[in-house]
Amino acid sequence: MHSECIYIFFTLIIILRMFCLLSSSIIILYVCIELMMQVKWICPTAPTRPVALLGGFSCTAWFDVGEISEESPDDWEGLDASAAHIANLLSTEPADVKIAIGGFSMGAATALYSATCAAFGRYGNGNAYPINLRAVVGLSGWLPGSSSLRSKVEGSHEAARRAASLPIFVCHGTSDDVVPYNYGEKSAQCLSTAGFRNLTFKSYEGLGHYTVPREMDEVRHWLTARLGLDGSRS
């Protein structure tokens, strides 16, 4: 039955450090061992594009990044394109299938941006967002467009309603030297302040820009509870 199947879309291809490509495989394997009987996993590769942070070198990336900085302008065209690519892959699934998305680093930024698109019901370019998200996970990432999020959500009753009902799980290591810890912490605070009330933030003392089994355990437990994989209703 469709209602018994959960589709989880982990956008895990990262370009900031090469070892992150290996950590994405670890995440997928570790979580799937526990949930593989109930979950269909879709793990896409980001398109190849020039990345300003790498001097214009072309590599797999969900959007362009000039620098990891709160003042750095966001690549809205690239974010919309990646969020749309993810959503379009899932838009033909039956309406009763529970859909969750998540990612690490740049994948986390894309997932959290998708969460805001789901709340607004549209992408930043105004096109309709086609799927109903049931959960979002962001590991060692950041929230694009955080400075204007609250005013946009508060300006729409429907966006506020969707935001309040969407479960989000954000994790970050305190020793992350690629995406600083305060970016993840501020992103979680921004989402909560903007009305994403069903948000859980977890920090990991001494963790760098990678994942550890304890973090994956908590992701697994969170997904199990939020998506009703333990037999409970979500």
Q: What is the pLDDT along the chain (234 residues), one digit of tens a residue?
A: 344 455 566 543 332 232 333 333 333 334 444 555 567 788 888 888 898 888 888 888 899 988 777 667 889 999 999 999 999 988 888 777 888 999 999 899 999 999 999 999 999 999 999 999 999 999 999 999 887 787 788 778 999 999 999 999 999 999 999 999 999 999 999 999 999 999 999 999 999 999 999 998 999 899 889 888 765 555
Class of residue 208 by CB neighbours under 10 A (exposed 0-12, middle 13-18, buried 19+): middle
Amino acid 174: pLDDT: 98
Sort strands 199-204 and 133-139 into parallel, antiparallel or unpaired.
unpaired
List of domains in the chain: 2-226 (3.40.50.1820)
What distances in angstroms separate CA 110 from CA 83, 94, 106, 143, 233, one per listed residue?
Answer: 7, 23, 6, 8, 27
Note whether 191 and 149 are within 8 A (CB).
yes
Note whether 229 and 218 are within 8 A (CB).
no
Q: Within its chain, how far is the Cα of 181 from the centroid?
A: 16
Sort strands 199-204 and 168-173 into parallel, antiparallel or unpaired.
parallel
Amino acid 123: pLDDT: 94
